[in-house]
Structure 1
Amino acid sequence: MKFIELTLGSHMVCHGFDENNKEILERVDLDGFSKKLVAVSRIKSVSEKYILIDYLDGRWVYWEYEDDYETVKNLLNG
């Protein structure tokens, strides 16, 4: 299993969807960023602000990241 190191901070946990098919999100605000090893297989998408990662029990997490978008893209392609 391949891992990459990312610097992640505040995030939103998606707990599923309501009756109108709208995401049920829980915002978690942190004071800073910290380094984490993330399994590449758990990454679903990357935008300029968020990395969407699989979590426990079918949840998804939208993590804010400190790294540059191009750096993350290169880590995933490397």
Structure 2
Amino acid sequence: MEPDKTTVEPAAPVKAFTPAEEPTYAKSGLTGSDLFNRTERDILEITLEDGKTYTVDQAKAEIKKFKEGM
């Protein structure tokens, strides 16, 4: 006997889309990066904490915040 072809099996639940996390970098990785000019790297050296990691966007925000406070 052939299986009933009129029944449809339920689809697997769809997982919610989660965007990939941005990579994070240590202070030394950001202060040694060519993404920032010499002045920006000096600002990062002052504003970022050792032992923490930051995204590039967070580093740019720290630079902006520092410049606005001058």
* Structure with the largest fraction of helix: 2
TM-score interval, smaller chain = under 0.3
Structure with bigger gyration radius: 2
Alignment TM-score, normalising by the size of structure 1: 0.22
* Structure with the largest fraction of strand: 1
Alignment TM-score, normalising by the size of structure 2: 0.23
